[in-house]
């Protein structure tokens, strides 16, 4: 019975560690210094499309509210380079950090992004402006802790007018339109949710095993 309990405890420890690898440590590494190298490799007059939320709108949640769209724009940029390009490697490193950050933030990210939906902007930035944003993003993410919960300011009036028009038409409700608009990749989200569900499933199983071991 002693051996059983020890096995279970080890199993439990293993599962906890295996299920949450990225919560150990900071996903942001010195690799962010490669941003300036990447910037030098891309022509200054090249334009990169990005959706972002300005700092003055999102204050204490700026990093988490921008993490997803930054990842998307970098993925787009990576497509422009060949497989053996060092640029592609640099970008892959940044994407990995963003994905780990997103994983740490967890399931609340989608609802936070939806709350701020009407404040997102889409712009095409020249290379220097874009990488200034990327550098600012990673430095801010490394140096500050964010609030879990942020209240969005009211939507600008023009957006409200549009949603009212939409609501009178025989189409799905505006929130649905907006979420389908592709601001969030549903596949990635379900993946994250699946992972957390699986780890939740383990809890009753382990409890049952422990109980059995106790009886023996």
Q: Interface with ligand NAG by CB under 6 A: which residues?
A: 28, 30, 32, 83, 142-143
Query: Minimum distance between the CB of residue 104 and ligand NAG, rounded to whole angstroms?
Result: 15
3-state secondary structure of 45: coil
Q: Residue 134's closest CA among 213, 69, 199, 188?
A: 69
Task: Specify the residue, 142 or 196, whose C-beta has the smaller distance to ligand NAG.
Answer: 142
Q: Residue 132's closest CA among 21, 11, 39, 29?
A: 39
Query: Minimum distance between the CB of residue 26 and ligand NAG, rounded to whole angstroms?
Result: 7
Query: Minimum distance between the CB of residue 190 and ligand NAG, rounded to whole angstroms?
Result: 23
Query: Minimum distance between the CB of residue 25 and ligand NAG, rounded to whole angstroms?
Result: 11
Task: Specify the residue, 92 or 203, whose C-beta has the smaller distance to ligand NAG.
Answer: 92
Contact by Cβ (8 Å): 67, 53: no
Task: Specify the residue, 41 or 85, whose C-beta has the smaller distance to ligand NAG.
Answer: 85
Q: Cα–Cα–Cα angle for 38, 181, 174, nearest 5°? A: 145
């Amino acid at each position: 019975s002693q051996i059983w309990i020890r096995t279970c405890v080890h199993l439990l420890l293993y599962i906890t560690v295996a299920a949450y690898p990225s919560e150990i440590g900071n996903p942001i590494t010195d690799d962010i210094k490669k941003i300036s190298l990447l910037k030098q490799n891309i022509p200054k007059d090249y334009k990169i499309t990005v959706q972002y939320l300005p700092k003055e709108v999102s204050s204490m949640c700026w990093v988490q509210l921008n993490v997803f769209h930054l990842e998307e724009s970098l993925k787009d940029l990576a497509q422009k380079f060949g497989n053996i390009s060092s640029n592609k490697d640099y970008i892959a490193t940044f994407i990995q950090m963003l994905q780990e950050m997103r994983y740490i933030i967890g399931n609340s990210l989608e609802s936070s992004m939806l709350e701020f939906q009407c404040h997102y902007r889409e712009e095409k930035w020249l290379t220097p402006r874009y990488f200034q944003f990327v550098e600012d993003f990673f430095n801010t993410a490394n140096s500050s802790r964010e609030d879990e919960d942020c209240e969005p300011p009211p939507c600008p009036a023009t957006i409200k007018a549009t949603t009212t028009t939409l609501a009178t038409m025989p189409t799905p409700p505006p929130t649905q339109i907006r979420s389908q608009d592709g601001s969030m990749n549903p596949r990635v989200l379900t993946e994250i949710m699946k992972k957390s569900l699986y780890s939740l499933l383990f809890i009753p199983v382990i409890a049952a095993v422990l109980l059995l071991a106790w009886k023996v």
